[in-house]
Amino acid sequence: MEYTKFETLSLHKHPELNEKWVQDRIADDPSILGLGDVVLRDRERIQPRAGRLDLLLQDMETNQRYEVEIQLGATDESHIIRTIEYWDIERKRYPQYEHTAVIVAEDITSRFLNVINLFNGMIPLIAIQMRALRVGNQIGLFFTTVVDLLTLGFVDEDEKVQEPTDRSYWESRGSKKTMAMLDQLLEVVKTFDPALELNYNKFHIGLAKSGHPCNFIVFYPKKNFLRFEPRLKNSPETQNRLESAGLDILGYNNTGGHYRIRLQPGDVEKKREILTEVISQAYTASRQD
């Protein structure tokens, strides 16, 4: 294995690479920030009487949103204040989500590191130091979290937005194996209504009939398992029935009224009877709404 020395670049002083270039790289692959399985929700988001938020990211598994502000060079007072201001605006406009302010800068000096640490705890705040590295004609970005969030806890919910995607998007986010499991469940769904089809969205896969959402079940394909969420009333009897049938219950989504069930490869065949019963109950309840 050959050793290669990386050259550190200053983006602040670079004649071509600017903040928009950094935004583009993060927008293309938000995971490089190290915030988890996040997706781009918006960029250059207009704030009432307060400028534009660089990036708005959202966790794929929760209702956690990240208000991200980028600064080339060293962070300063205005960068910190602007980040907190945008975070405050977003949390007041959209209180149904959990919000975290994220400061990204090439240099977070010890002085401002102390200031950020003082805010953290009262304000959910993450500080990330960015480095641009070059090898030959190739340039990469490296991000290090220098101040992490003091977690206060959040409700594990997914936003049911209707931003269309396609099957290839979910085969990439999940896997062909878990998408095949989804196809098996769709076969069961169609026994109750043959007109129902999969409805691919950015944050989940739902059901639709004649182009209209019909989400009595939503699906979240992962790499190694499929999260299956039927809309059922929360009750001890239902919980016991699902658990006694061997289903892996992850919890109950109170906002959407869904049970969160993890299905492993092979579960659809092995547990087809209980899954058919669950789908039937969710479908019947949706017809009565």
Six-digit token string for 224: 């190694």
Could you count the other beta carbons within 10 Å of the beta carbon of residue 198? 17
- pLDDT(79) > 50: yes
At residue 153 the predicted structure's pLDDT band, cuts being 50, 70 and 90, is: very low
- pLDDT(155) > 70: no
Cα separation of 151 and 16, whole Å? 38
pLDDT tens, position by position, 48-62: 877 899 999 998 777
The 8 Å CB, 24+ separation contacts for 181-188 are: 181/221, 181/226, 181/263, 181/265, 181/267, 181/268, 182/219, 182/221, 182/226, 184/268, 184/269, 185/217, 185/219, 185/226, 185/228, 185/268, 185/275, 185/279, 188/272, 188/275, 188/276, 188/279
Q: What is the pLDDT of residue 156?
A: 32
Indicate yes or no: pTM above 0.75: no
At residue 181 the predicted structure's pLDDT band, cuts being 50, 70 and 90, is: very high
> Alpha-carbon Rg of the chain, whole angstroms?
22
pLDDT tens, position by position, 189-224: 999 999 999 999 888 899 999 888 898 999 999 999
Q: What is the pLDDT of residue 111?
A: 72
Q: Cite the beta strand spans of 115-257 per DSSP E.
A: 125-135, 138-147, 196-200, 205-209, 212-213, 217-221, 226-230, 248-253
220 bridge partner residues:
227
Question: What domains can be seen in the chain, in order of their start residue?
Answer: 7-147 (3.40.1350.10), 167-288 (3.90.1150.200)
Q: Within 13 Å and on the Cβ side, how many CA atoms surround 19?
A: 14
Q: How does the average pLDDT of the chain come out, rounded?
A: 86
Q: Which H or E element spans position 260?
A: strand 258-263
pLDDT tens, position by position, 243-267: 999 999 988 876 678 898 999 999 9
Q: In Å, what is the CA distance from 275 to each residue of 186, 217, 260, 263, 268?
A: 11, 12, 13, 10, 7
Q: Cite the beta strand spans of 48-177 per DSSP E.
A: 51-59, 64-74, 98-107, 125-135, 138-147
Helices then strands, counting H and E runs in the chain, come out as 8, 14
Q: What is the pLDDT of residue 57?
A: 95
